Chain A
Amino acid sequence: MFKSKVKIMQLAVTLLACAFLFVPIIMSVLAGLTANYFKGISSGLTFKWVIEVWELYANSIFLSMWLAIACLVCTLIIGLPAAYGLARHPGWLSRLLEEFISLPLAIPGLALALALLQLYGSMKGFRASWTFILVGHVLYTLPFMVRSILAVLASIDLKTLEEGAASLGASPWQRFRDIVVPNAMPGILAGSLTVVTLSIGEFNLTWMLHTPYLKTLPVGLADSYASMRLEIASAYTLVFFILIVPLLMAMQWASARAQRITQ
C-alpha cells in the first residue's frame, strides 16, 4: 500500500488532518490530568482536578442533563404531532410552516436569546427559572426533531398504511399509536439524540439566558476557563467529553439507521 507516491501523500494528509484535530484535544485532556501543568507531565498524573471539577460544577452537570431531558420531552410533545401533521397534509401551507419551524436554524443563538430577553425579561420569576433556558433550547432544537421525523415519514406511504389500519377498525388514535409512531421510530431516535446532544452543548443562547445560579455545562466551562486554574478548566473539558462523546456516537448510529430506511 506504500508503493505509490500518491498513496503516501494521501496517508500523510490524512494523518496531518487527524493530528490537527486530535492534538489540542489530547493536550487539553492531559492538562486536566497532570498535577502541575507548568511543570509538565513529569509532575505526575492525578484525578485531583477532575474531582475538584465535580465538587465545583456538579450542579451544572445535573442542570445540563435535566435541561436536555426536559428539552427532549418538549420537542417530542411538539415535534412528533407537528411532523405527523406536516407529512399528512402536504401543500404550500405545510411547506411554509416547515420553513417557519426551521427559522431558528438560520438565526444566531444570540439574536434568539436577545428576542427572548426583550419579550420575557421583565417577568422576574420566569426570567430567573430554569424554564427560561428551556424555552431557548426548545426553540433552537425543535427544527432538528421535526425534520428528522418528517424525513422518515415522507419516505413511507403513510396515507395508505393508515387507511389499511382504519379498514381493520383502528381509530385515529390507535392508528397514530400502532402505525405512525413505530414506523417513525428511526426518525424519532435520530432526532432525540440530536436534540439531547445539542441541548447539552448549546452555549450561545444559554450564555445570554443564564443567571449566576443557573450555569449549564458549557457555561460552566467558560466560567472555569475565565476564573480557575488551567488544570481545572482542562479537567472540565475531559468531563464534558465523557458526557458528550457517547451521545455523539449514538447519534451517528441512529441517523445512519434512519437514512437507511428513508432510502
Chain B
Amino acid sequence: MTLRLTHTAKTYPDGTKALLPTDLSVGKGEIVSLLGPSGCGKTTLLRIIAGLETPDAGSEIWFDNDNVTPLPVERRQVGMVFQSYALFPNMSVRANIGYGLKMQQLPKSEIEARVTEVLEMCQLQPFAARAITALSGGQRQRVALARAIAPRPRMLLLDEPLSALDASLRGTLREELAVLLREFDITAIFVTHDQDEAMAIADRVAVMCQGRVLQTGTPEELYRNPKSPFVAGFVGNAMSLRGKADGATLYLDGGALTLPARGEGQTIFVRAEDVCIGDDGPLRGKVETVTFLGTHYKIGISGITSDTIASIHAGQNAPKVGDMINVAIKPETLMLLPQEVDVT
C-alpha cells in the first residue's frame, strides 16, 4: 500500500503546534523511519496516520486511493506497535495475537491457523500459552509485533518499538526487526529518536525537528549530503567548525583550513572519522580525552575551535592526554551548509 499525506498538521487546543503542515509519501513495501529528538512531532505524525489523533482541518491522509482522513483507527486497518507494547494482560500470548483476527470475525479454525503461522514467523511458539506478565521485554516486543501483523494490516506503524528494552538487547533486536519487517513485506513507518536504529532498519529516513520534516532520504543520502546543520548534527553527529571564513579559507583558533568552496555565511561541518591526526596537519590542538573503543580510539581535541573536536583514530597507538598534536581535514570531507536553515 502507498501512503500519501498532504498538508497534514496538528494544533492542540492550547495552541501548541505539534506538527506543521507536512507532505509525505511512502511507497508500497517501503520502510520509512521518522527520526528526531523528543518533542519534534514524530509520534504525533504517526498517531495521525494511525487515526489515534485528529489532524487539523485541511489535512488529508490517503491509503492508496482511499481518503481515510475521517475514519477512526478501528476502521483504518493499520497494525500498531506501541512503545509500551499495550499487550492485554487479561489474555495469553495466543489470545493477544488472535484478537485482531477475532475482531474481523474470522472462523475459529482460520484464526488458529493464522495465529500459529505468525507465532512461527516470530519464533514465539514456546510462549504461546503464557501470560503476558511471564514474558521478558524482548519477548513482549515480538508479541506486540506479531499481534499487529496477524490481521494483515494495510500498513504497520511502530512507535519507538525498541526503546523500552535495555541497551544490549536493543542491538540484537534491531537487526531482528529489520529482517522481520522485510519478511512481512509490508509498508511500515516507525518512529525513533535513535539514529542508529533508523539507519539500521529503514529504507528511507525522514528527519524531523520542531514539528516539520527537514529532509527525507536514504540513510546514505542523509549521512553524506545533509541539507541543513540540524540533519548533519543529528545524523552521524557532525561537528561544526566555528571560525571566520575568508574566501575558500577558514580561520580557526588552531590554524587555517582550506575549504572546497567559498565559505562566507556558511556553517562548516566535519565528521569525526574525517579528522585525521598526523604530523603534517595544518591545525594544532591539545588532546583532552582518549577513549579506547576496540577497533579504534576516539580522541577529543581542544584548541582547534571553541568546542572539543572528536577524532576517530584507527592507529595502534594513540596520543596521550595533554599532548599537542597536528590535525588535518581534507577539504572534500567538509560540509558547507547554509546558516539560516538552523532551526535548533
Contacts and interface: CB of A to CB of B under 8 A. Distances in A.
A168 B87 contact: no
A168 B84 contact: no
Interface residues of A, number: 19
A119 B188 CA distance: 62
Interface string A38-66: 00000000000000000000000000000
Contact of B50 (A157, A160, A167): A167
Interface in B84-108: 84, 86-90, 99-100, 103-104
Nearest to B50: A167
Interface in A140-163: 156-157, 160-161, 163
Contacts of B86: 157, 160-161, 163-164
Given A170-B74, A182-B90, A183-B90, A164 B80 contact: yes
Interface stretch (A91-99, A125-133, A171-179): A171-179
B99 A171 contact: no
Interface residues of B, number: 24
B72 interface: yes
Nearest to A180: B90
Contact of B79 (A163, A167, A171, A182): A167
Contacts of A179: 88, 90
Contacts of A27: none
B250 interface: no
Nearest to B77: A169
Contacts of A167: 50, 52, 73-74, 78-80, 148
A161 B78 contact: no
Contacts of A170: 74, 99, 103
A58 B321 CA distance: 93
Interface of B: 50, 52, 72-75, 77-80, 82, 84, 86-90, 99-100, 103-104, 147-148, 151
8 contacts: A157-B84, A164-B86, A165-B99, A167-B78, A168-B148, A169-B75, A169-B77, A183-B90
A153 to B, nearest CB: 13
A177 to B, nearest CB: 11
A168 B90 contact: no
Contacts of A171: 74
Q: Which of the listed residues A157, A160, A169, A183 has the most CB atoms from chain B within 10 Å of its own CB?
A: A169
Contact of B103 (A156, A163, A174): A174
A166 interface: yes
Contacts of A164: 80, 82, 86-88, 147
Contacts of A157: 84, 86
Q: Which of the listed residues B74, B84, B89 has the most CB atoms from chain A within 10 Å of its own CB?
A: B74
Given A160-B82, A168-B99, A179-B90, 15 more contacts: A157-B84, A161-B88, A163-B73, A163-B86, A164-B88, A165-B88, A166-B72, A168-B74, A168-B79, A168-B151, A169-B74, A169-B77, A178-B88, A179-B88, A183-B90
A167 to B, nearest CB: 4
Interface of A: 156-157, 160-161, 163-171, 174, 178-179, 182-183, 185
* Closest 10 pairs between A and B when the two form their complex, measured CB to CB: A164-B86, A168-B100, A169-B103, A182-B90, A167-B80, A160-B86, A166-B73, A166-B74, A169-B74, A170-B103
Contacts of B74: 166-171
A156 B74 CA distance: 22
A88 B328 CA distance: 60
A161 B82 CA distance: 9
A175 to B, nearest CB: 9
Contacts of B77: 169
A178 B89 CA distance: 11
Nearest to B104: A169
A156 B89 contact: yes
A160 B84 contact: yes
Contacts of B87: 164
B160 to A, nearest CB: 13
Contacts of A163: 52, 73, 80, 82, 86
Given A160-B82, A161-B88, A168 B103 contact: yes
B72 to A, nearest CB: 7
B240 to A, nearest CB: 39
B194 to A, nearest CB: 21
Nearest to B101: A168
A171 B71 CA distance: 12
A261 to B, nearest CB: 9
A43 to B, nearest CB: 57
A4 to B, nearest CB: 43
A164 B89 CA distance: 12
A174 B73 CA distance: 14
A157 to B, nearest CB: 6
A169 B88 CA distance: 14
Contacts of A168: 74, 79, 99-100, 103, 147-148, 151
A233 B135 CA distance: 57
A178 B99 contact: yes
A158 to B, nearest CB: 10
A255 to B, nearest CB: 19
Nearest to A163: B52
